[in-house]
Amino acid sequence: MLMTKYFYLLLSMCIVMSFTSCEDDDDITLLTSQDEVKADYADLVLSNYEAARADAVTLDAAIAAFIADPTATTQQAAKDAWLAARESYGPTEAYRFANGPIDVIDGEEGPEGLLNSWPLDEAYIDYVDDDSDAGLINSPALLPTITKDALADLNGQGGEENVSVGYHAIEFLLWGQDLTAPSALEAGQRSFTDFVDGGTADNQDRRRAYLKACSELLLDHLQILIDQWAVGGPYRTAFLAQDDATSLSDMMTAIATLSKSELAGERVFVAYDNRDQEDEHSCFSDNTHRDLRLNYDGIRDVYLARAINDVEGASIADLILEADPVLAGEIFAHLEAAELAVYETAIPFDYAISDDSTRPNVLAAVTALRALGDKIVEGGDAIGIEVRIE
């Protein structure tokens, strides 16, 4: 449940009542400046990327311990660290589609494709159920030496599903393919012995090197984003200096697009429509339900300017509330509805999209997220900001 639900609803009602009783609305002064909203947004983005990198450091250490001594225990510790790292990265997806450095830096492609690309073709990385020799790990002729630069260069070569690096490459290496039926409620079952010399699956040394290189690349690419958003950093400086309407348009376009197009469409409806677990976001670990919830949380946090410690700054919500309290209440109701719908989707997600008893809840989440995206566009209109859904 949204912690500020009753506060915002009560405040909306009070403002509506006071506006109704006013004889001259022209005397009303907005309390929140757009510059404040931009500054608090920049702080939010930076703090979340810093949290994501801190968790990636913990993940890297767990992976180092695993490849130094591959056991069921160290493998599980690495899995746990991956799951924890997704908790801090998931909300940052709300900064995409905003012309920010996650997507573009100085006219060049940003690091998003190297961090969170999906779905990935498992056979591009390692062996799969019907091909024990598949993947870059088992192709020393194609990739003689496994290095960070080499893996980054191979990302996306030959097709967008040829994902070589990022969170989901690490996920696949830790969990392996999920070959069980969704009704089994099980994730991938890769054995730690795939990383033990003389154990299962050939090229164990290359598999260890591949996993460590992917982990180190996460740190590199998250640091790029931190440097861009740091106080005095190039993107933060440009973002705060540009006109308020452009910055706010980017911020609101990002969360409207994530809600209606990317989250409701690409991440939920495509998998729902196809009934295919290969289309779900974290299909190896069965962590997709957390991805979806965390992505929604990112939308909510940008709208409310809520930092990771639950401190709320000057927000888009404040601007809309002061401009049109009735619409502000409607948007808040849509936020609440979307949260409930996303959080009520069955676990795991591959089961939710495949079982007739759970599919209606998935479709309800799609509907709620689409409606939320449209309401955010209306909110932009209320404060004179153009919001585009990409």
Q: Which pLDDT band holds residue 390 (cuts at 50, 70, 90)?
A: confident
Q: How far apart are CA 334 and CA 272, in angstroms?
A: 22
What's the pLDDT at 308? 65
What's the pLDDT at 218? 98
What's the pLDDT at 11? 52
What's the pLDDT at 49? 98
104: three-class secondary structure by DSSP: strand
CA distances from 308 to 44, 58, 299, 312, 327 (A): 8, 18, 13, 9, 26
Classify residue 2 as left (phi > 0), alpha (psi -120 to 50) or beta: beta
Let me know if domain 32-382 sits in CATH 1.20.1070.10: no
Tokens of 194: 């795939």
159: three-class secondary structure by DSSP: coil
Mean pLDDT of 309-325: 89
CA distances from 102 to 55, 122, 230, 376 (A): 18, 24, 14, 22
Hunting for tokens 């995409």 — which residue is that? 96
The reported pTM is 0.93
What's the pLDDT at 19? 45
Q: How far apart are CA 289 and CA 295, in angstroms?
A: 10
Burial level of 333, CB count in 10 A (0-12/13-18/19+)?
middle
pLDDT tens, position by position, 219-233: 999 999 999 999 999
Cβ–Cβ < 8 Å for 389, 257: yes
Hunting for tokens 């998935």 — which residue is that? 362
Cβ–Cβ < 8 Å for 219, 170: no
pLDDT tens, position by position, 331-377: 999 999 999 999 999 999 999 999 999 999 999 999 999 999 999 99
Cβ–Cβ < 8 Å for 117, 218: no
pLDDT tens, position by position, 135-150: 999 999 999 999 999 9
pLDDT tens, position by position, 163-215: 999 999 999 999 999 999 999 999 999 999 999 999 999 999 999 999 999 99
